[in-house]
């Protein structure tokens, strides 16, 4: 694949009909929210395509509203797909749907092989295993959704270092809601989402000059849940404070109104799964061309 390639889901069946995190309130959901979700998903796709990315769209499935968050479907690196095992029954129906999707992608040569976690080990995909291209390692969240026992499986499957970070609150239940590696080695993160031990680990790996702390307001706007490609960041509507911080570091922002999805606890990173991510450093790829 020559262009960055992302998986997204048709939002036709998206709603907030159950509650498995503190952001979700089924009683507050309306038909107007469903219409806004369709617009938001289309705008996110357009924003990604404007960066030069290719977007693969999978179909909606009635009764599986959170299928719109394919980041949770699997960990994907170097063409290998490590399938998720969801903790909550409400999302377990997504597993066979995503497996069928990955089988089709494999038949087209977009992924190479598909592997599974052991029975009884919960892990919710790229939401809790975030590849850091600059450090060539996985940051692995655990606690609310993913099991700590999943982390050695990730290390063995992909052959790369993993750094475990325990999440401290159900409000930021996946690592991607509170932690975002950015091109150039910087990291945007929300400190209150982590246990003291996790914060110490994070700060030991990332120098102060490369850490960008999100405020309560910025984290609640789901701006840490962002898609980064080189100096470009695609995220939910951001407070001016975050725009200032990121632009000062040399990043350009594309903001999309994703408020209906935030009401389910997700935004741009959750709504996408990058399929072409590679562990080979960019310099080596260019040298081979």
| Active site residues per annotation | 174, 270
**143: phi > 0 → left, psi -120 to 50 → alpha, else beta; which?**
left
Return the CA Rg of the chain. Answer: 17
DSSP one-letter code for 224: S
User: What's the order of all strands across the beta sheet hosting 113-116?
Assistant: 74-77, 80-83, 113-116
Q: Nearest 5 degrees, angle CA 134-CA 164-CA 179?
A: 55
Chain-centre distance for alpha carbon 121: 20
Strands (E), 80-178: 80-83, 113-116, 129-132, 137-142, 161-166
Pairwise CA distance, residues 287 & 202, whole Å: 32
Residues contacting 182, CB < 8 A, separation 6+: 188, 212, 228, 233, 249, 251
Pairwise CA distance, residues 141 & 123, whole Å: 9
Pairwise CA distance, residues 247 & 238, whole Å: 12
Pairwise CA distance, residues 237 & 239, whole Å: 7
How far lies 71's CA from each of 128, 147, 274, in Å?
A: 9, 17, 8
């Amino acid at each position: 694949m020559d262009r960055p390639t992302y998986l997204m889901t048709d939002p036709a069946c998206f709603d907030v009909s159950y509650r498995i995190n503190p952001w979700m309130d089924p009683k507050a959901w309306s038909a107007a929210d469903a219409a806004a979700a369709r617009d938001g998903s289309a705008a996110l796709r357009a924003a990604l395509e404007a960066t030069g990315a290719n977007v693969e769209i999978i179909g909606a499935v009635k009764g599986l509203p959170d299928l719109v968050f394919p980041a949770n479907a699997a960990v994907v690196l170097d063409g290998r797909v490590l399938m998720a095992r969801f903790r909550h029954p409400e999302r377990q129906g997504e597993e066979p749907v995503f497996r069928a999707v990955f089988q089709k992608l494999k038949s087209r040569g977009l992924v190479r092989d598909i592997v599974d976690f052991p029975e009884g080990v919960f892990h919710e995909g790229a939401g809790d295993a975030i590849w850091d291209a600059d450090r060539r390692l996985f940051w692995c969240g655990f606690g609310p959704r993913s099991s700590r026992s999943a982390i050695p499986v990730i290390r063995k499957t992909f052959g790369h270092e993993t750094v475990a970070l325990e999440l401290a609150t159900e409000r930021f239940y996946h690592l991607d809601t509170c932690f975002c590696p950015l091109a150039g080695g910087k990291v945007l993160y929300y400190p209150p989402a982590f246990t003291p031990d996790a914060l110490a680990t994070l700060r030991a790996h990332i120098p102060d000059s490369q850490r960008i702390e999100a405020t309560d307001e910025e984290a609640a706007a789901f701006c840490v849940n962002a898609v980064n490609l080189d100096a470009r960041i695609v995220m939910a509507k951001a407070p001016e404070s975050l725009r200032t911080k990121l632009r000062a570091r040399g990043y350009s922002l594309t903001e999309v109104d994703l408020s209906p999805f935030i009401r389910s606890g997700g935004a741009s990173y959750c709504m996408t799964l990058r399929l072409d991510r590679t562990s080979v450093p960019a310099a080596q790829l260019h040298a081979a061309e």
